Structure 1
């Protein structure tokens, strides 16, 4: 049986678009902080991972979702790659 990203918690960390413009930091404790360009903390909120699916809810109430596939996060038309430490 395949292990989900939820089980390994491999989703925690920084996820970045190829051009570096969008940066999602998925924090332990189910909070996230998104930067856009030079705008740090452009959006903040909570997230929940179930299997390889992620649901976001920002602090204004806006919701979105995404999916982890083969080490890549697909979210709202964006493709994000995990930044290595």
Structure 2
């Protein structure tokens, strides 16, 4: 098993992309890219007014589930070599 990567704290769109990059690289290194679904797409409909229930809140929630799934794959045995 490869060591788990150090994950950036997600506080905005930039740090969310950094988290995705780190985890996708770790999944690639472990040979799990074909077993992991794509990360959630960033919202494109935010109005910027800080609405309660903003689309970014849903994105960050979805990203938490994606991160958990990626980490679960990373703690499994490495993918078999072809």
Length-normalised TM-score, structure 1: 0.29
Query: Comparing both structures, which one devotes a greater share of its residues to helix?
Result: 2
- The TM-score, its normalising length taken from structure 2, stands at 0.30
More strand by share: 1
Higher relative contact order (CA 8 A, sep 6+): 2
